[in-house]
Structure 1
Amino acid sequence: MSSAESVLQKVKSLAAAAAADTVALREHLHAHPELSFAEHNTAAFVTEQLRQMGLDPQLMATTGVVALIEGRNPGIRTVALRADMDALPIQEQNEVPYKSTNPGVMHACGHDVHTSSLLGTARILSQLRDEFEGTVKLIFQPGEELLPGGASLMIKEGVLENPKPASVLGQHVFPMLPAGKVGLRPGRYMASTDELYLTVRGKGGHGAMPEQNLDPVLVAAHVIVAAQQIVSRRASPKLPSVLSFGKVIANGATNVIPNEVHIEGTFRTLNEEWRKEAHGHLRRLVEGLAESMGATAELEIRHGYPYLENEPELTARTRAAAEAYLGPENVIELDQWMAAEDFAYYSQAADACFYRLGTRSLDGRNASSVHTPTFDVDPKALEVGPGLMAWLTLQELAAAPAQPAQPAAAVAESHL
C-alpha cells in the first residue's frame, strides 16, 4: 500500500470512528440555533470543542472563531477551511429529538452540518499532524445569512492573513444529492446578490375619483413590468441575470388609492461589471418612468455578496481528490446556481473552491429544500463530510505552492 493510500485509509477510519460524535455535535447545534451575528453560545461551544483538541481558538468579528492546526514545517503553506454557524428565522416543523428549542429559529440551511463537519475535520487532522506539512486554518464564521456577511467582516479583520492561505475550501449541504455524493463546478458558480427597495409616491384618494389622484399603484405596476427589459434586452443572453420583485405593499383598500407603494426585490448576476451597469439602468428606468407618469420614485440598492468563482485549477485538484475518496461515480458536475453565498468574498480574495455535500437519504427522505421548516439531513453525511474535507485538505497541502515562512503565532495577535 502506498503512503497516500495509507493516509486515505487512516482518514476514512478516523471519520467512521468519530461519526457518532459528529452526529451528536450536529444535533446539539441544531437544537440550539442562533441568528446571524448573535451566535454567542454557538461560538462558545465551538471554542470549547477546539480546546479539547488541544487547539488555541481566537474570536473574530464578535462571534467568529479561528484556530490553527500545525503539521510539520508549519510555515511552508496554509490551507483554510470555512464553516458558517448562523441559523434562520424559521419555525421548525420536524418532529425529531433534536428539534430546535429556540422558537422561530432553525438551522434550515445546514450551517449546523457545516460547523459540526468542520469540527470533525479538525479532530481528524489534529490526529494526523505527522502526516502533513503546513498549517490548516479553521474558520468558523458568523452571519452568512445577513448582509454584509460575516465573511466580509472576518476578511477585513485579517482572517486571510498571518498566515495567508494558499487556498480556501468550503462545503454546503445539498439535499438534491444523496448522502455519499458531492458536486463541484469550476469557474463562476453562484451569483452576486443585491437587495432592491423601491418607493413610488403619488397622490392618494377615493378610488371612485381617480382623476383627482395620482395613482402610485398603477405607476408601480408599470415599473415592475418595464424593469424586466433590463434582463431581457440589456443583458447579454450569454450572461445569467435575475431581477425579481417579491414584495409589494400598497396599503390602500378596495376604494382607497394610497399615497405610496413600497416594493422589494433582488438583482443577481455573474459579472461584476454588468452588475454595476445594471444598477444604473435600473435606477434611470425607475425614476424616469415614474416621472413620465407624474409620480416620483426612490430606489435604494443594498449591495450584497459578489459572485462566487471556483478557481479552476484548485477545483480540478479538489475533484480528483474527491474521486479518490468517494469514487468517480459519486462526484458530479454542478450547474450554475443563481442563489448567493458570502463564501464569494473568500473566492474574490484567494483561490477558493466551494463544493456541495449530498444530504438526502437513499430512500428519498430528507429531501426538503434548504430554507424550509422541514429541512433535515441523512446522518451519513456527517461521516462523509468531515472525512472528505480532511482528505481534500491533506491533498491540497501537498499540492499547494510553498509560501514565505510566517510565524503562525502572529495569528493570535491579529485576532485579539
Structure 2
Amino acid sequence: MKSLSVLFWLCLMPCWFNNFAVAQFQLDIEEAPFHYTETKAENRVTRLMERLESRELKLEYSPQQGYLQSLLKELDIPESSQTLVFSKTSMQVRYISRHNPRAIYFNDDTYVGWVNGSSLAEISTTDPKLGAAFYTVDMMPWRAKIQRADYDCLACHSTSMTQGVPGHTIRSVLTTFDGSIDSQKQSFITSDASPFSQRWGGWYVTGRHGDMKHMGNAYLKAGMLDTSANGNWTHVRDEFDTQNYLSPYSDIVALMVLEHQTQMHNEMTRADFVVRQMLHQQGSAPTDAEEWKVQLASVAKRVVDRMLFCDEAPLTSEVKGSVVFADHFTRRGPSDSSGRSLRDFDLQTRMFRYPLSYLIYSDAFDSLQDCLKQEVCRQLEAVLTGKNQSEEYAHLDATCRADIVQILRETKPDVIRAR
C-alpha cells in the first residue's frame, strides 16, 4: 500500500514540549486512525452512486455537456455557481486553455469540474471521515460511471496547499496565452484573507469591483502580466465560444465564496485530523488534563478565527456579481425571525454582513470530534457575547456580535447557550 505522509506545523504553548514554541505532528493518512483509502466514504456523492446502482435514478445525457446538468441537479448544485479557470491546473490539462476553460460548479460541500469536449468530469466533496473525497465521472452516452479516485487527486489535494490534509484550494497563478503556468513566477493560495491584487490569476472573472485590481482575465505578455483591461468584465463571450457552457459568466462573488469555503473546510478537516491523532496517541483519557485543554484550545482557535473572518482583506470598492448566484446562495438559509442570515452579503467593505461562516451549519462542522466542536463553540460564545475582547476580534462591534448571537440562537441553538 502506498503511504502518504504529510508534515505540518501546529503552534502550541511553550510549556508543553520542553519550551519549544512549535510542535511537529506527522500525519500519515494511510495509518491509524485515518486509513484513508480503506475507509468507506459516506457523503453526498456516495448517496448519488447508490441511487444510480439501484436504478432508482438515471442521469440525463446531452451531446453538449454530457451528464453535467443532470449531475448538478441531483447534487443540488446551482448552475449560477459557475466559475471558469483557464490555467492548466487539472488532470485534464490537454483540454484546458483560454479558449476552452474548465468550469467549476459548487454548493456548500461538493464541487464539480467539467471541461468542454472531455468525456470525463471530476467531483470532490466533504466527507466526515476523509476530509475531502474525490471521484471521476466517465460520461459515456449509454451510462454515467462514477468511481472514487484517490491518489491521482491526492498528489495535489493533500499537500501544503490544502493545509496538509485531503482538501481543496484556489490557486492564483501566472499563465502564458495558452494557459500554461510559468513556474518561475510567484503563485498564491487564495482565501478571503488574500489581497485583491493577488487573486484569480488564471481565472476568468465577471462582475463589477470598482478600482480594485486583480490578476484575473489576464496572461503574461513579454514576461509581464497584462492587466491593462482585465477589470469589471460583464461576461466572457468575447474571449471564447460560450455556447456549450451553462453560463457566460465566471462570477466574482461566487469566486469569493469559493475561496472562503475551500479554506474553511480545510481548516476544519485539519483540526479534526489533529484531534483524532491526539486521541489515538493518548487514548480516550488524556494523561495530563491541563495540557490537553491547552492543546485543544489552540487547535480550536484556528477554526474560530477563520470562521469569524479575522484576517479578511477589506474591500475598498463595492463588489457586484450575478444577482442569480446571490439569490441562489442566500436562499439556502437558514434565516432568523427577522429575516437575517449568515449568508447575507455585504460586499461594500467585507464579504458578509454578519461575519461568521455559514459553514457552521454544514455536516463538516457537525461531524467534528465532540471535544473539538464543544471547544469551538465555547470560544465562539466567548467572543460573540463579549467575554473575549481580544484585538483580533475588533472587527466585530457590539451590534454585530449581538446580531450574530440572535441569528445563532434561532438557527443553530447548540452553539450559543440560552440565557
Higher strand proportion (structure 1 or 2): 1
Higher helix proportion (structure 1 or 2): 1
TM-score, scaled to structure 1: 0.27
Larger relative contact order, structure 1 or 2 (CA cutoff 8 Å, min sep 6)? 1
TM-score, scaled to structure 2: 0.26
